[in-house]
Structure 1
Amino acid sequence: MTRRAILHIGPPKTGTSAIQASLSHNRSALARFGLLYPGTGRDHSATLLALFRGRAQDYIRARKRTVPSGTSPISAKQFAAVQEQLRGRDWHTLILSTELMYGLKPPVMKQIKEWLDQYVDSYQLVAVVRDPVDWAVSYTQQRFKREGDVDTLLAQPRAMRLQRTFQRWEEVLGPGQHQILAFEELTADPAGMGAAFLTRLGLESAAAALSQEVAARNESLSWEAAMMMAELNTRRPFFVEGKRSGARSGAELGAFTGIRGQRFDLSDATRRQIFDETREDIAWVGERFGITRYDYPVTDLRPSSNPAGFSPEFITAVGERMADMANEIRIQRGLLQIAELRLEGRIGEAERARRRLEAMFPSDSRFHDEPEDDDAVVRWAAE
């Protein structure tokens, strides 16, 4: 049986997470059509990190950086499990999806191909393209989550370099039915990103069998939230001398995600800069893949919605977020106190503490649960 591998390389901010969420949620449905989406996680970053972890660790040590969690023994176990799946006989198409593959150098690309050559006969490279100016806006916003140099990020954003990356992969993989898909078409498809992705790869039957789409978590930042995150990154950098700062847990983003505010954007001058820098890429996408929707005149470039100052909506949202966080701290302390009192057999005190918190937070169901029967009897006796 002839087998092929579909390598979905991203790039970032092109709906990759939504596609991965759908494919991973529907592993069993895909398997019925001979499609293997290996592993148990959402994407295959850990699998590939385990594959070339030796090279990655040498690189990291040479620069005196900490070894990322993706190169831990856990990844090695995941890699072994994927290897076992690849040795199975009940599949004809392998789908690997990770944005990690977008930024690799040719030597590492070759290492991935050498590994897959054991299992497949051909390759299909797939990337998703997005309006390059919109992509730069979204990618810049993403970088604010870890970086704090506001002026540089806003004035010198990274441009999509799809042609260079795609051609590097093609040189490694050789000829095949390689494709580039339009992000805007995938997002507009009522069937959902995962089904739209499979349909455009000629896998209509599998696409029709997918269950309801699983929405990927939205981690976008409003303009104000991005500026606050950048300020945190400046004052408390995530990395200090190549190691994660002791002042950062890695969970800080949750305090800023979802806070309402103004739309994040780049200035008109920066948007024009990105537009000019990407004309060659866009021409290549049009000539090679027939996607011409991004080849529009500069007069059609949308004006910037770059805001000035903090909006009243943001001030309100921050106030609500701070109040919610303060309440959650009080609730967690209360739940811990109740649990400790019950463990000590002080059931009456535990119940009184529960009632106080129930009165304080009447809409929180965590204080509404009736205790177990034995506890109820002890409480009745104690009172």
Structure 2
Amino acid sequence: MRLIIHIGTPKAGSSSLQVALDTNRNRLMEQGILYPTIERATHHSGLASGLHVPEAMRDIDLRRNGNDPALVVRKTEAAWQSLADQVSSHNPETLLLSAENFMSIDDFTTLREWLARIAPDAEISSVAYLRAPVPNHESKASQRLGRTTKVRLPGHLPWHSRLMRWKNIGPVQLRDLAKVGDIRTDFLEAVQAGLASKLSMPGRNANVSLTGEGCIALQAAMMNVTSDSASDYVERSRVWRARLAEAEAALGESLSLRRVTVNPAVRWLILDEWHDEAVALREKFDFQFDEPALYDRAEIDKGLAETGARDLGLAETDALSRFLANDQTAALRLLAHAAEQGAVRQGGFPLSSMKDGLRKLLRKGAR
């Protein structure tokens, strides 16, 4: 049996791939390929959740389990047992697993034990789709605002060290999301030549995000909303996100709206943070992003100096407008439209207060 594990990474098309695999479970099984059902989800995050040390467990996993890490572990054990039962029942030629949080697991000992039990003689390999550092950072801005008003500071993810641990399980293939086109077709063709043409492809399941202007407005709106709990914040953020999406649709032709775009100084800070990681990926996995400056230390230092990036003193509590090159005036108009089309008051704060709050954020961002 072959076992192919899709291990992420986040913001690199995983949702679209998982929906396609989930939609085609029966057709895949006709080809001898099992894409198992775990906890009635389109993905297999339940297999990885409890393989993290408690302090590294995802907030969503802890919230769903009463903030009890032991319960997360027990549910993960149950998920692996369910997988074992499905493999035993179907006896597939190929087993496919997919979860973004596979990438960050800590407990490889338990992982090996389960793999040995489920597929003792399997040919195991893993594949990870990577998004270049700057687009990766930009794509997370809208998602992050769903749970906090704090801004994500430039930083890198320890992909190299994590991938080296996966390399001890079996061969690891890295794919540049910007180069593969449709992740679904790319992955399926790697599983079996011609497989994509035999399946029914659902519509692309890209996670819908606000424009950069919409994100600036969302942060301002949520800073003026009192939330009693994390779940309350998430719900209120969802309401405002929907209103701002409607505002973008209504005003899009009259405003200069574009995707989240970091300003030049933040771009250089991101490349600075990622330089060593990118070089390690190139050396150990022969993988290189299509971003020449990322590998040029002298050019990065020059860019940092010319933009004064290291002197900005950026903080998580700053206005998002300090980080982005998006139109701040357009953000104000989006917020006004969203508030006027919905309730004039949100969380007890009048529209005038929100406008004042956004203006303060924009003035702070301009400094």
Q: TM-score range by the shorter chain?
A: 0.5 to 0.7
Range that drifts further, 245-254 or 204-213: 245-254
Map of 2:17 onto structure 1 = 19
Paired positions, count: 300
CA distance in 1, matches of 2:283, 2:165: 18
- Pick the aligned partner of 1:296 from 292, 296, 300: 292
Q: Report the CA distance shift for 1:75/1:167 in structure 2 as closer, same or farther (over 3 A).
A: closer
- Pick the aligned partner of 1:219 from 208, 219, 229: 208
Map of 1:114 onto structure 2 = 113
Larger relative contact order (Cα-Cα within 8 Å, sequence gap ≥ 6) = 2
Shift of 1:209: 1.4
CA distance in 2, matches of 1:47, 1:27: 18
Once superposed, what is the RMSD of the aligned Cα atoms? 3.9
In the TM superposition, what are the counterparts of 1:310-349 in structure 2 within 5 Å?
310-311=329-330, 315=333, 319=337, 323=341
Does the CA contact (< 8 Å) of 2:84 and 2:118 recur in 1? Answer: no
What CA deviation, in whole Å up to 9, does each residue of 1:31-90 have, x standing for no partner? 1222211104211113444x659x7599899xx977369959998876654332121243
CA distance in 2, matches of 1:247, 1:283: 39
Does the CA contact (< 8 Å) of 1:159 and 1:274 recur in 2? Answer: yes
Shift of 1:320: 7.2
- Pick the aligned partner of 2:274 from 270, 278, 281: 278
* TM-score normalised per structure 1: 0.65
Instruction: Tell me the amino acid that sits aligned with residue 226 of structure 1.
Output: C
* TM-score normalised per structure 2: 0.67
* Structure 1: runs of 5 or more not aligned: 327-383
- Pick the aligned partner of 1:180 from 154, 174, 180: 174
Matched, 1:4 2:34: no
What SS does the corresponding residue of 1:94 show, helix, strand or coil?
strand
Shift of 1:271: 0.6
Larger radius of gyration: 1
Q: Report the CA distance shift for 1:266/1:60 in structure 2 as closer, same or farther (over 3 A).
A: closer
Map of 1:161 onto structure 2 = 158
Does the CA contact (< 8 Å) of 2:25 and 2:35 recur in 1? Answer: yes
CA distance in 2, matches of 1:280, 1:294: 16
* Structure 2: runs of 5 or more not aligned: 249-256, 308-322, 344-367
Shift of 1:148: 1.0
Q: Report the CA distance shift for 1:90/1:259 in structure 2 as closer, same or farther (over 3 A).
A: farther
Q: Report the CA distance shift for 1:256/1:286 in structure 2 as closer, same or farther (over 3 A).
A: same
What SS does the corresponding residue of 1:103 show, helix, strand or coil?
coil
Map of 2:132 onto structure 1 = 131
What SS does the corresponding residue of 1:306 show, helix, strand or coil?
coil
- Pick the aligned partner of 1:264 from 251, 255, 260: 260
Instruction: Tell me the amino acid that sits aligned with residue 196 of structure 1.
Output: D
What CA deviation, in whole Å up to 9, does each residue of 1:14-37 have, x standing for no partner? 111111111111111211222211
Q: Report the CA distance shift for 1:288/1:246 in structure 2 as closer, same or farther (over 3 A).
A: closer
CA distance in 2, matches of 1:234, 1:35: 48
Map of 1:196 onto structure 2 = 186
Q: Report the CA distance shift for 1:275/1:59 in structure 2 as closer, same or farther (over 3 A).
A: closer
Shift of 1:216: 0.8
Map of 2:35 onto structure 1 = 37
CA distance in 1, matches of 2:116, 2:210: 41
**Identical amino acids, percent of aligned pairs:** 21
Does the CA contact (< 8 Å) of 2:212 and 2:324 recur in 1? Answer: no
CA distance in 2, matches of 1:91, 1:318: 56
Shift of 1:235: 4.7
Map of 1:306 onto structure 2 = 325
